[in-house]
Amino acid sequence: MQRDFAALLETCRRGGVEVRSDSRAVARGDIFVAVPGVNEDGARFIPAAVEAGAAVVVCRPGGPEQAAARNSVQAGGCRVVHHDDPREALWRLAEARWHTDDLHIKVLAVTGTNGKTTSTYLLERLFTDAGHKVGVLGTVSYRWPGHSEVAPLTTPDPLKVHSMLARMDAVGVDVAVMEVSSHAIDQQRVCGVPFAGAALTNLTQDHLDFHKDMESYFKTKAKLFLELPKAEKAMAVNADDPWGRRLLELCPRALSFGLQQGPPRRRHLWGELLSAGTGGCHLRMHLEGRTWELRSPLVGAFNASNLLTVQALALETGLDPEQFTALESFTGVCGRLERVDNPQGLSVFVDYAHTPDALVNVLKALRGAGFKRIITVFGCGGNRDRSKRPLMGEAVARYADVAVLTSDNPRFEEPEAILQDVLPGLREAREVLVEVDRRAATAKALDMLDKDGALLIAGKGHEDYQIIQGVKHHYSDQEVVRELLHCA
């Protein structure tokens, strides 16, 4: 079995053959890897791959589905190579096909529950200004100079990851920044990627439908740091976060950072928050006797933390504080506390916040900006962690004056059932309005808004769709606001 797979790897290295994990993409002569998924086993699709012309099928040995598939393979005249872990087989074949073990790119990972997207955008700005050619793989898009595509996943599958890194390398990209999700780590999507460094932004409740508990969630995130190649790699970890402090105990070489002074006897980047308001934040950094300051238009303490994440990782990968002035002109990311301009002069913000902690951070930022009345339109995604739903309600009840509960992406759940899960968390809310239709909810919230207040529309951010019963319908919070305020 090992000898057969080694020969297949060599075939991939020589080129002229493609690797697929989606039977619908298979063409004649391809290698099809039957990856077991969360909902479906890829072995079920072996007959379709064979019919499409697959020359080789990689699958686990044994099992009734494999037996049925074997008959299909024999009938189709293609070869079977067994591997105990098809996920591992997939990334190893991807690495061989795209020669990503020999890249000339410095690949940096950003992981954590919140702040990944803003941090990767900031890193892109910083390294570009420092003269590097930069590529980014993240929640909003996969992009590098001359190429950009919408991202269906925060971190794509290994075939996409390795192929895009190779394409970046071919056009001279020398720094690639990746958002790395916990799902991606667990499912081996980034295995084989030659990471030069990684940063942890924070760890708060999310994805417990997948990881089951915070301990499992933490262990998955920690793998990215603990399994980095043994050579000296850059690591930056948020010491303000309790899970970050635990990770620091496991990673003695990591640079810690935070808005609080750091643990004793450890290299720590302290960001002293001098001011934070509607105009942005002012930070004074302290590290090993050096100090420097940064004024950013980004609003909120959570963005101050993002700025520290980026500086810490940049310092560990060779940049100097003198180069950090590039961060001062960065005005933000689409759907991250994004102000929707309008002729009425109303303060309307759209944000991707879809976890309890993210909602707290954004609402605290708005509260600290001095708005007299904060209205929040929010919901919870369907077929995701149900336990966080009342916690989302509690966050809004605590920091907003009016809670407008509505649909997010209900997926295959009934929207009304999702709202019922959220409502217990809103018991202490000052005022609650329930409207299942998101557009109607936004209209009602706008009717309540005056120029001294702020409206936060949370949960979807940059997304331009709403998923209902598995179907994507075009929907953009920004577009809806502009239409309702007649400024489209």
Binding residues: 23, 112-118, 154-155, 181, 187, 189, 384, 408-411, 459, 463
CA distance 339 to 413: 31
For residue 65, the Cα-to-chain-centroid distance in whole angstroms is 34
Q: Which residues, listed in sequence order, are joined to residue 1 by a DSSP beta bridge?
A: none
Question: What beta strand segments (E) does 259-329 contain?
Answer: 268-277, 280-287, 290-296
Q: Would you say 375 and 448 are in contact if contact means Cβ atoms under 8 Å apart?
A: yes
Sign of CA dihedral 358, 364, 369, 373: positive
Task: Please give the annotated binding residues for meso-2,6-diaminopimelate, written as ranges.
Answer: 384, 408-411, 459, 463
Q: How many CB atoms lie within 10 A of CB 315?
A: 22
**How many CB atoms are located within 10 Å of the residue 428 CB?**
9
Token pair 């740091």 in the structure block, residue: 225
Nearest to 382 by CA among 352, 358, 404, 406: 406
- The answer to whether 178 touches 109, Cβ cutoff 8 Å, is yes
The DSSP bridge partners found for residue 455 are: 348, 375
Mark the binding-site residues for ATP, compressed into ranges. 112-118
SS3 71: helix
Q: Measured between alpha carbons, how far apart are the two ends of the chain, in Å?
A: 61
d(CA 371, CA 301): 16
The CA distances from residue 132 to 52, 144, 216, 291, in Å, are 42, 11, 37, 25
3-state SS string over 40-53?
A: CEHHHHHHHHHHCC
One-letter amino acid of 446 = L
**H or E element at residue 117:** helix 116-129
In this structure, are residues 19 and 83 in contact, taking their beta carbons and an 8 Å threshold?
Answer: no
Rounded Cα distance between 92 and 105, Å, is 19
Ramachandran area for residue 280 (φ above 0: left; ψ -120 to 50: alpha; else beta): left
Query: CA 262 to CA 259: how far, in whole Å?
Result: 9
Closest of 211, 389, 236, 207 to residue 309, by C-alpha? 236
Are the C-beta atoms of 260 and 240 separated by less than 8 Å?
A: yes
